Structure 1
Amino acid sequence: MSTRMVTFTLDGHLYGVDVAAVQEVLRGQTRTRIPLSPVTLAGLINLRGQVLSAIDLRALLDLPDRADGTEPMLVVIRVAGEPVALMVDTIGSVVDVDADQFEPPPDTLAGVSRDLLLGAYKLEDQLLLALDVDRAVAA
């Protein structure tokens, strides 16, 4: 059985989410910071009159900060019917992956990164880390 994944990069690693969860992909949206909010909540975004939370996946996955001046891209996903924006470094493509390419999260991953991944797909030239969007948004 094949699954379609929307891919994106974070700190040089390839991640993916199920295409069924993705609403749209955006760039250059203004974010409004929320005082005293956790570092993982990058702010709020007004998307055509709808206010979305923007989650910084780098902060959530304990990755280093983005280089100064690098504008993140946003993957808008739907979790429990509500849209949420995930901040990523770059957007990749849509890839089809098969169940026989899937493996549990690698043992080299520890901590929160391991908890937020469904597992990994072995592609020809790299590993595609499958993000659990429900857990990522809940965190």
Structure 2
Amino acid sequence: MQLCTFKLGDYFFGVDVEKVQEVIRHQEMTRIPLAKKEIRGLINLRGQIVTAVDLRLLLGLSKFSDSDEPMNIIICDDDGAVSFQVDEIGDVLDVDESSFEYPPETLKGIARELIQGAYKLTDRLLLVLDADKAVEVTA
């Protein structure tokens, strides 16, 4: 399995590379009045309007400050594209299924729904984000 990796705070995440359309730098966005707190706004991606989701807020971490310029991972599904805003983009990694562990029972809240599990790498854990469920939660 291949995962597109990224950082959120001190955490190292990955999403299935087949769900990723592209990775782009910070984009100017238009705020949406009365939107859910996780929705940062709309970005114009070469004429396509894409909703930008603050993954930090979605997972219960501290939000981006107004001066932060997060990176965007554009995720495609049947309904179009969504941008997951992250701190930093990593590499595409091949992971060994034998190093996969399901999330512990102690994981609570929305993170329990969105994190499929973790891969044990040599120097850290790679948390696997369920991109489809993350998009559903923000809809």
- 1:28-62 Cα offsets, whole Å, 9 max, x none, are 20111100000111111100000001111011001
Q: How many residues align?
A: 137
Higher strand share: 1
Instruction: Tell me, yes or no, if structure 1 residue 83 matches structure 2 residue 84.
Output: no
Output the CA distance in 1 between the equivalents of 2:106 and 2:89: 25
User: What's the counterpart of residue 65 of structure 1?
Assistant: 63
User: What's the counterpart of residue 96 of structure 1?
Assistant: 94
Deviation (angstroms), 1:121:
0.6
User: What's the counterpart of residue 118 of structure 2?
Assistant: 120
For 2:37, the aligned partner's letter is V
Cα distance change of structure 1 residues 98 and 81 upon mapping to structure 2, 3 Å threshold:
farther
Deviation (angstroms), 1:114:
1.3
For 2:86, the aligned partner's letter is V
Could you list the runs of 4 or more consecutive aligned residues of structure 1 that deviate by over 6 angstroms after TM superposition? none
Deviation (angstroms), 1:81:
5.3
Output the CA distance in 1 between the equivalents of 2:32 and 2:66: 20
Pairing 1:11-30 to 2, within 5 Å after superposition: 11-30=9-28
Percent of matched pairs sharing the same residue = 51
**Structure 2: gaps of 5 or more residues:** none
Output the CA distance in 2 between the equivalents of 1:108 and 1:4: 27
| SS at structure 2 position matched to 1:136 | helix
TM-score by length of 1: 0.93
| SS at structure 1 position matched to 2:95 | strand
Pairing partner for 2:42 from 44, 48, 61: 44
Output the CA distance in 1 between the equivalents of 2:124 and 2:116: 17
- Preserved CA contact (<8 Å) 1:102 1:122: yes
Deviation (angstroms), 1:79:
1.7
Output the CA distance in 2 between the equivalents of 1:65 and 1:47: 23
- Preserved CA contact (<8 Å) 1:106 1:120: no
Report the aligned-residue RMSD: 1.2
